[in-house]
Amino acid sequence: MSQPRGIRNNNPGNIEYTGTRWQGLDNPPSDGRFMRFKSPEYGIRALARVLTTYQTKHGLDYIGGIIQRWAPSHENNSAAYAGFVADRLGVRATDRIDVQARMPELVEAIISYENGQQPYSMATINRGVSMA
């Protein structure tokens, strides 16, 4: 059985390709819809940067708001997704969190939900997060 698309693309957050020249993009930079990165750390970096922007630019500091923006309900079951992530972090989807302090856990939960698995060590996740 082949790996999930996000893992194959080193883009475990399944970030769509929009033409933005992200650091660490592979060649070609997309599979047609989703970005492809040279290593998982670059994909994790991109995921962490997007989540940071959600907090700093959009004021999203609770799981429900973050996930609604990340995986809008017109394409996903955002409530189930937010519930999964909140459970992994031990909070309610409406609880405010310190996104930066909880970033590795948040990234790990999103990777798990997006791919149905989380194959990376915490060292790999922390390297990607620290690159952000």
Query: pLDDT (tens digit, 9 = 90+) per residue, 18-29?
Result: 999 999 999 999
Question: Which of 88, 74, 66 has its CA nearest to residue 13?
Answer: 66
Q: 3 pLDDT exceeds 70? A: yes
Determine phi and psi for 49, rounding to 5 degrees. Answer: -65, -40
The letter for the amino acid at 102 is R
* Containing structural domain, residue 80: 5-131
**Number of domains comprising the chain:** 1
Q: 1 pLDDT exceeds 90? A: no
Question: What string of DSSP letters covers 72-89?
Answer: -TTTS-HHHHHHHHHHHH
Q: Are 30 and 15 in contact, with CB atoms under 8 Å apart?
A: no
Of the two residues 1 and 101, the one the predictor is more confident about is 101
Where is 18: in which H helix or E strand?
A: none
